[in-house]
Structure 1
Amino acid sequence: MAALELEALTKYYGDVRGIENVSLTVEEGEVFGFLGPNGAGKTTTIRTCMGFLSPTGGSVRVLGRDPTDEAEFLEARRRIGYLPSDPGLDPDRTGAAYLDLQADLKGETRRRELVDRFGLPAERRIGDLSRGNRQKVALVSAFMHDPELLVLDEPTAGLDPLLQEEFNALVEEAVADGATAFLSSHVLSEVQTLCDRVGIVRNGRLATVERVDDLLERAGKRVRVAVSGAGPRAGERTEGRVEDSLERLAGTHDVRVGEGTPTPVSFTYTGAYDDLVAWLAERPIANLDVRDAPLEDVFLRFYGEPDGEADEESAGTGSGDSAGVEA
């Protein structure tokens, strides 16, 4: 049985499209990333899967259950660890009191371990906590009962890099123990180390489902380099303008060359790394930065220009998806 099945799932807010004809399957034991820029439809999809929104059309099955059937879905919710994008925690409760409530609803097996692991000041009022510590409360709630399915909407928001690493380890451990994870993000690199496959949603429609390795290969790297002189090093052959030499370097896209000395150059690169290194080695480099291409660049290159749809996340605000009612 698949952990999550969406078939032509559609949700409109009046005349505003949230999602339309989204079909995908998340297999048991995999980590599936749901990628897209803010407002693309990620949260609407997750809220509908969790039963907080009624679909306009299509269907969804979560752990074999129909979220629109409240009685049928009640038991399944206890087997899900859900982290909303905005947990909506009661600011007057302490973290411990909130976790007590969640334990009454769905049980707990590892709460104390997770509180210690994340360094959560559980006895403090939630309203007095930083954004990162509020996120820790929600994370402990999502993981503390060893759920079969983790549904995580922008799970690392507000976490510092060390805690993001701890979160990654926690997901990997859960999956090693047999869990399935479905997590949304608008940052491609955030899901790179965790996910087996990703679905890319854009303006409410599913653009593609791909293996992470395949997507990264297509996306390429964003290269920013400051060149102290446009041509090769002294004594080597002259190639003229830096943009002319980049035109001959296979795999370059979106080349931008600024003014000044050193000359700022940026481009997306999908070619062979040896060729890029050879091109760089021919020039006096003042500064260099290479990182994964921004997800927005991936959209524009592979899936076309945005079509100007309204922001579905704003249209869906107030749908009652707080973590306090997740079970």
Structure 2
Amino acid sequence: MCTSESAGPAVEVRGLSKRFGRHLAVDDLTLTVAPGVVFGLIGPNGAGKTTTLRMLLDVIRPTAGVVRVLGQDPRRVGPALRRRIGYVPGDLRLDGRVTGRRLLAFYAGVSGGVRSGEADALAERLGVELDRPVRTLSKGNRQKLGLVQAFWHRPELLVLDEPTSGLDPLLQREFLALVREARDAGQTVLLSSHVLSELQQVADEIVVLAHGRVVAEGDVASLRLSTVRHVQVGLGDTSVEAVQAALAPIGTLREVDVREQGGAVRVSATADGEIDPLVKALARFRVLDLSAQEPDLEESVLRLYGQEGTGG
């Protein structure tokens, strides 16, 4: 059972930087993770997510800055702190002739505090066979073993770096259920992902990283990461000129392209913000088809990065 030994934030980072030669991977990062929440780190590949998580766990040392995890300095307390943490690395590598069960037994000796039957219960939920040699398992099944060893001792803090990599959609749903249960039990979850939909479902707070810096932070709703939509519409019984006139007053549209194609008027546009004005403008025509697609995460992050005016 999760028992917090520290008051205050679960994770606190101030002025954290990491430089690899001339490359600045993390740049003056400051963030605070409250206990008992799901905290999302999101951003495109190379944003600094994995480097940040590794510094929290003392896998690598920061170039500058202060790190506190569960009230302690991870550089000083070592294994005693890591036993209070469940960790899935972004580059999880499991191999060998031993079975999953034998491997987990080894990890149990490291983690401590694993309840009897916990491994089997989690393995059943995630659909992984514990009695097969690890080297015969698919990437997805190895990832499931990693999740079992992270969750099974019910740590105070879960640090999960791209944890659903290799999992099919049904297993991703089960993983999100595990995250919600951990939060409900008072555990803190620090979840790194480049999949926006994952964090939209479970995160209480999100920090968006780009080029090692925070470009946005807040709850999912306030960040408005998904208010941009790429819209494709087919309209009948009208003309290009009529459609252009109807769309002209809508200030939230950009990249508008209206043309006649295949006996219909085709509209392609990007709606930035409320989509209601566009829907009402189109309602006066006969709509043959309509699709509205959210941009991918990288596009959303780059848009935020540009809004912050820190680009380059």
Bin the TM-score by the shorter chain: 0.7 to 0.9
The code of the aligned residue for 1:269 comes to: D
User: Is 1:75–2:83 an aligned residue pair?
Assistant: no
| Partner residue, 1:149 | 157
Q: Is the 8 A contact 1:268 1:293 kept in 2?
A: no
The code of the aligned residue for 2:296 comes to: P
User: Is 1:40–2:47 an aligned residue pair?
Assistant: yes
Q: For this pair of structures, how many residues does the alignment match? A: 298
User: Is 1:240–2:241 an aligned residue pair?
Assistant: yes
Percent identical pairs in the alignment equals 42
**Separation (CA, whole Å) in 2 of partners of 1:254 and 1:60:** 44
**Separation (CA, whole Å) in 2 of partners of 1:160 and 1:297:** 24
User: Is 1:185–2:188 an aligned residue pair?
Assistant: no
**Separation (CA, whole Å) in 2 of partners of 1:11 and 1:97:** 37
**Separation (CA, whole Å) in 1 of partners of 2:270 and 2:294:** 12
Q: TM-score, normalised by structure 2?
A: 0.87
SS at match of 2:132: coil
| Partner residue, 1:295 | 297
- In 2 relative to 1, CA 154–253 (structure 1 residues): closer, same or farther, beyond 3 Å? farther
Q: Is the 8 A contact 1:227 1:283 kept in 2?
A: no
User: Is 1:50–2:50 an aligned residue pair?
Assistant: no
Structure 2 matches for 1:85-96, cutoff 5 A?
Answer: 85-96=90-101
**Separation (CA, whole Å) in 1 of partners of 2:204 and 2:210:** 20
- RMSD of aligned alpha carbons: 2.3
Q: TM-score, normalised by structure 1?
A: 0.83
CA displacement, residues 98-152 of structure 1 (integer Å, 9 cap, x when unaligned): 2111111113222221011111111122222222211111111110111111111
Structure 1: which 5+ residue stretches go unaligned?
309-327
The code of the aligned residue for 1:85 comes to: G
User: Is 1:220–2:221 an aligned residue pair?
Assistant: no
| Partner residue, 1:270 | 273
- In 2 relative to 1, CA 253–122 (structure 1 residues): closer, same or farther, beyond 3 Å? farther
- In 2 relative to 1, CA 285–2 (structure 1 residues): closer, same or farther, beyond 3 Å? same
- In 2 relative to 1, CA 20–162 (structure 1 residues): closer, same or farther, beyond 3 Å? same
Q: Is the 8 A contact 2:235 2:289 kept in 1?
A: no
- In 2 relative to 1, CA 256–115 (structure 1 residues): closer, same or farther, beyond 3 Å? farther
Q: RCO higher in 1 or 2 (8 Å CA, sep ≥ 6)?
A: 1
> Of 107, 128, 132, which aligns to 1:120?
128
Shift of 1:185: 1.0
**Separation (CA, whole Å) in 2 of partners of 1:117 and 1:245:** 53
- In 2 relative to 1, CA 283–176 (structure 1 residues): closer, same or farther, beyond 3 Å? same
